[in-house]
């Protein structure tokens, strides 16, 4: 089930999945509207009958920082990047208790490293990490597992649009990739998805309350290991 306010993008993903032999359904709602989470979950369970996993992923690095922000813009940024994680969890909880299901929350490296100029987004991504641990503790009695996935530099369409805002996008990309220790390349969306699928599966039955990094070593490995410091390294 694909829940997204951008119906055309969701339908495009549905077509891609269909081409790969995976059937899916689209529910077009704006999760910033609190009541829409409940409607989405009701629609979903009416169609499929049960719920085994919830993946909270929607968000946008909107550039609401300290210098050019305001309390109102900060609150709006925080809400748009975190509130639906909570409301989707609340709406899904009765079904997840029934199925002893799984919640996977997508956060961001910004919650760990900071970035500058995006305090609303960073605060929300930090809240997601704190909430994931708390929910794992609170829901353990129901057999529900909760984990967070932390990507760093992932080459998504949104990231591509950001790159195109620079005078020399390819040069900017090379400078970013040079700082990624493993293979000096960005993470692919499929690599993040593979971690999510693992966390949803019985193969991760003993994992809860964890923060799992899919980032090519970007966050934790020493910068001395990066491609920029080893000119002879091949990708």
Per-10-residue mean pLDDT for the chain, 235 residues long?
Answer: 90 93 90 83 87 90 74 86 92 94 95 83 94 98 97 83 83 84 85 96 97 89 66 50
pLDDT of residue 97: 96
Residue 5 burial (CB count, 10 A): 14
- Catalytic: 142? no
Q: What is the CATH number of domain 31-229?
A: 3.40.50.720
pLDDT of residue 59: 79
Domain ranges within the chain, ordered by starting residue: 31-229
Cβ neighbours of residue 208 closer than 8 Å, sequence gap 6 or more: 136, 140, 145, 146, 147
User: 107, 235, 81, 106: which is closest to 173 by C-alpha?
Assistant: 235
Residue 123 burial (CB count, 10 A): 18
User: 4, 131, 8: which is closest to 60 by C-alpha?
Assistant: 4
User: 233, 105, 135: which is closest to 180 by C-alpha?
Assistant: 233
Asked if residues 187 and 152 have their Cβ atoms less than 8 Å apart, the reply is yes
Residue of 86, 95, 121, 159 with catalytic role: 121
In the numeric block, which tokens belong to residue 31? 């999760």
User: Is this model's pTM higher than 0.75 or not?
Assistant: yes
User: 70, 211, 232: which is closest to 132 by C-alpha?
Assistant: 211
pLDDT of residue 131: 97
pLDDT of residue 73: 84
pLDDT of residue 21: 94
* Distance set, CA 105 to CA 5, 73, 76, 159, 222 (Å): 18, 24, 20, 20, 27
Asked if residues 56 and 103 have their Cβ atoms less than 8 Å apart, the reply is yes
């Amino acid at each position: 089930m694909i829940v997204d306010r951008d119906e055309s993008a969701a339908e495009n993903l549905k077509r891609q999945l269909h081409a790969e032999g995976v059937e899916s359904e689209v529910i077009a709602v704006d999760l910033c509207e609190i009541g829409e989470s409940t409607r989405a979950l009701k629609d979903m369970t009416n169609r499929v009958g049960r719920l085994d996993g919830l993946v909270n992923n929607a968000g946008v690095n909107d550039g609401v920082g300290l210098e050019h922000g305001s309390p109102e813009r900060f609150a709006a940024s925080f809400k748009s990047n975190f509130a639906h994680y909570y409301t989707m969890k609340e709406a899904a909880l009765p079904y997840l208790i029934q199925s002893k299901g799984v919640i996977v929350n997508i956060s961001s490296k910004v919650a760990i490293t900071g970035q500058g100029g995006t305090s609303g987004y960073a605060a929300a991504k930090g809240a997601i990490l704190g909430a994931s641990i708390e929910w794992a503790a609170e829901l353990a009695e129901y057999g529900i597992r909760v984990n967070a996935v932390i990507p760093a530099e992932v080459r998504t369409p949104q990231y591509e649009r950001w790159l195109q805002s620079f005078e020399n996008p390819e040069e900017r990309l090379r400078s970013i990739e040079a700082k990624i220790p493993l293979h000096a390349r960005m993470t692919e969306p499929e690599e993040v998805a593979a971690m999510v699928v693992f966390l949803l599966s019985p193969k991760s039955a003993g994992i809860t309350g964890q923060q799992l990094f899919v980032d090519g070593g970007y966050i934790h490995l020493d910068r001395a290991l990066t491609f920029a410091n080893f000119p002879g390294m091949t990708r």
